[in-house]
A = this chain, B = another copy of it.
């Protein structure tokens, strides 16, 4: 690690959150509600965000690189008034982190304005893009959202409504996605047939709200109505709400990592509490491979819920053993040569009074490259821990994800071609245990969905032959386009 990214220490990135609201009140401040909804979804993406408002057919929007509070202030929000709003937060790879790729995508097509905000990824993006180009399409950015917009525009020529166009389009998409569409008079939310990305429906007074996670409703004091079902489209107009199926019911495959890491602990997805699922994971870990120890601590913040569960199950006291610096930074400061090996301590600090002379159980949600885990274990030992037992609240990461998370090729995954014991040695812990997949699947108690576990077992719920064959499976362009921000 030559430079220091304060935000991400060896963590997988989720790829976006969406929000939509259709006002049925007089003078509802849909822009501020969207702003606060997006702020609650900020954990799903901190690289760019945007809000587009439909004011009687005219779209006013603002989007930029940055977090919600960086991009929006009172001056901007005061200019955003209207009746329907769509918002987006984005997690980007370095290559794609340009203003052009910020969402919502606002376009004009044959039937007026068409605004989209997408969470997810298509696995047949390349062929769809090529097919569209073969019919004269132009792409100005590199997100899949443009593909959806084009397909809707094409389908709309032969259908009677934007809903029909969307339904036809969904038939052509292969991917894990949820999206909201704003037409001149409608707000539409769609979840992919397998429900791989979450999407839910809420009600704010008499107005309907759509969001990636239920916490967005909590933030604005909206009522959670229900999850949008896999393969369902909800269409909100001034006449109310309608539900349609855009795909026949099939096996569902919600990304299990929503429960492991992506979603906020206070969200409830498809009926299962994320916090309880994580605590449950901790409980299973305590039973899987018991160890004699003095304290249970968490890798903050992602390991906290599981550590509490582990403590409750094992009876070993839960303590704050690692302190995290809360002052999130966008900038990358290069640490000094002397500090490089210890760069992790800029973000994390071990509490000597908690770990010194103690046998420590350290709970984390996952290990990607293993470099951070190794450094954290070293940090605990320096602080006097006599033993460090690492427990991971998910199975080993063995297969790449093609569905919109930032996990690259197998080359970077520490668990590929290594036994648990080898990893244990590599990171320097006294013992290591991963949650079994079998146990993990039992943690989202009450879930109405089944799960995608491809990153653990390679069972992809979609045909990934197109993306997996690519040299760099994330880049569907043989010609790249960069944007320099000044």
Contacts and interface: CB of A to CB of B under 8 A. Distances in A.
Contacts of A482: 58-61
Interface in A126-172: 133-140, 146, 149-150, 153-154, 156-157
Interface stretch (A213-221, A358-366, A394-402): A213-221
B150 A138 contact: yes
A138 B74 contact: no
A105 B273 CA distance: 47
Interface string A243-286: 00000000000000000000011101000010110000000000
Contacts of A327: 39, 42-43, 46, 67-69, 328
Which of A73, A268, A335, A486 has the most B CB atoms < 10 Å from its CB? A486
Given A275-B320, A480-B58, A137 B157 contact: no
B319 A308 contact: yes
Contacts of A32: 333-336, 339
Contacts of A29: 336-338
A105 to B, nearest CB: 8
Contacts of A114: 138
A323 to B, nearest CB: 4
Interface stretch (A195-203, A346-354, A452-460, A463-471): A346-354
A481 B46 CA distance: 26
A143 to B, nearest CB: 12
A335 B36 contact: yes
A94 interface: no
A9 interface: no
Contacts of A28: 336, 338
B320 A265 contact: yes
A220 B109 CA distance: 42
Given A137-B153, A184-B479, A352-B268, A62 B221 contact: no
Given A46-B327, A265-B351, A346 B39 contact: yes
A334 B72 CA distance: 11
A25 to B, nearest CB: 9
Interface stretch (A76-84, A414-422, A435-443): A76-84
Contacts of A109: 133, 136-139
Which of A135, A266, A345 has the most B CB atoms < 10 Å from its CB? A266
Interface in A69-101: 69-77, 79-80, 99
Nearest to A25: B338
Contacts of A75: 486
Given A46-B327, A339-B220, A135 B138 contact: no
Contact of A320 (B73, B139, B305): B305
A353 B276 contact: yes
Contacts of A154: 136
B59 A479 contact: yes
A88 to B, nearest CB: 15
A110 interface: yes
Nearest to A73: B331
A325 B150 contact: no
Contact of A275 (B325, B351, B478, B480): B351
25 contacts: A33-B339, A39-B327, A40-B325, A42-B325, A60-B484, A71-B486, A74-B332, A79-B484, A80-B484, A108-B479, A109-B136, A109-B138, A136-B137, A136-B150, A137-B153, A138-B149, A218-B350, A219-B345, A219-B346, A264-B323, A266-B351, A268-B352, A273-B352, A276-B353, A308-B319
Given A138-B150, A308-B319, 20 more contacts: A39-B329, A40-B349, A58-B480, A59-B480, A60-B484, A62-B484, A67-B329, A68-B327, A69-B328, A74-B333, A79-B484, A80-B484, A105-B140, A108-B139, A109-B133, A110-B134, A218-B350, A219-B345, A266-B349, A266-B351
Interface of A: 6, 28-29, 32-33, 35-36, 39-40, 42-43, 46, 57-62, 64, 67-77, 79-80, 99, 105-110, 112-114, 133-140, 146, 149-150, 153-154, 156-157, 184, 205, 215, 218-221, 264-266, 268, 273, 275-276, 301, 304-305, 308, 312, 317-320, 323, 325-339, 342, 345-346, 349-354, 477-484, 486
